[in-house]
Structure 1
């Protein structure tokens, strides 16, 4: 089954925008830069995405879809736990461009008036709940008597912090190994 040409063009534009944003950040990117990368005029890009904000939201939504496609390996969601988080960190270590774009956009989104702020607020709410659910499934007691809900933002902070350090110095920071060490400190075996 073939996809319509417009769908392919939209996908190409989103991919190019993803790359431009990863390189320059949202504020440093432009529809013109995206257009140049895909061989269109700025008006050509605007035919598919009437504003830079709409293109940004398409990039964010598509990135999450790419993540799900590339990381939906578990057959039985009831068996998920910290090992799943370890697999996610290992998977992210294979995609520096995606990690960089996410890191840049997440950091940018804390600035006043950033169009991705609501997206990231909602996403972190969802991710905290997901991580808390994974922590609930761990056998044994969580460290220091913490609840899964208390531990979730700490786990996310460690993952995000490791991603940033890995992007800045990939030869010195082994992201998967460091996350394994963090889980060991928590007393969680994977």
Structure 2
């Protein structure tokens, strides 16, 4: 994940990954038939970890936003994760990229799940009625990826979690029935 995140898919070689892992090229190829299979395994592993963490979240949108901030803090302590999300995510926008379908499905799933969570929270009285739930979910996804890209591009020169927290707090104040933020 670190190598793919730092160098991207196209510039990463299996030989580099084997050296990073302290094994031979043949040893790496014993477990993964090619670079594409290795990339997909890394991305699937990373996303499976996110799915496990997401299951701990209550139905509350406020709690979900707080947990997202905790997950972001955790990801900043894991080398290569933010880079992997940004670099491979950007590369995977090309339909011919080996991870294109995975990232497209993952993005659709994330927007769909947040849309459903927002709708359920409105029905439960946590959020204002009549909101455009899908637009809010897409805004959240765009802000998340955009801020991560800015953070990497700016050389990690600002507090990513603080900026995310400020955005989610403003959003929660605007959409919550009680008008309170995080």
TM-score range, shorter chain: 0.7 to 0.9
Aligned length: 167
Aligned-partner Cα distance in 1 for 2:2–2:102: 19
Equivalent in the alignment of 2:144: 159
Q: Tell me by how many angstroms 1:37 deviates.
A: 1.3
Query: 1:128–1:152: 8 Å Cα contact kept in structure 2?
Result: yes
Equivalent in the alignment of 1:132: 115
For structure 2, the residue ranges without an aligned partner over 5 or more in a row are none
1:129-183 Cα deviation digits (max 9, x unpaired): 11112222151326xx5421222111110111111222233332x3333223223
Aligned-partner Cα distance in 1 for 2:118–2:160: 20
Aligned-partner Cα distance in 2 for 1:184–1:151: 14
TM-score (norm 1): 0.77
Matches of residues 5-154 of structure 1 in structure 2 within 5 Å?
18-69=1-52, 72-74=55-57, 77=58, 79-96=59-76, 97-136=80-119, 137-138=121-122, 139-141=126-128, 145-154=130-139
Q: Tell me by how many angstroms 1:25 deviates.
A: 0.5
Aligned-partner Cα distance in 2 for 1:46–1:123: 27
Aligned-partner Cα distance in 1 for 2:13–2:72: 26
Q: CA RMSD in A?
A: 2.1
Q: Tell me by how many angstroms 1:112 deviates.
A: 4.2
For structure 1, the residue ranges without an aligned partner over 5 or more in a row are 1-17
Query: 2:69–2:165: 8 Å Cα contact kept in structure 1?
Result: no
Aligned-partner Cα distance in 2 for 1:80–1:58: 32
1:32-59 Cα deviation digits (max 9, x unpaired): 1111112222222111100111111100
Q: Secondary structure at the match of 2:74?
A: coil
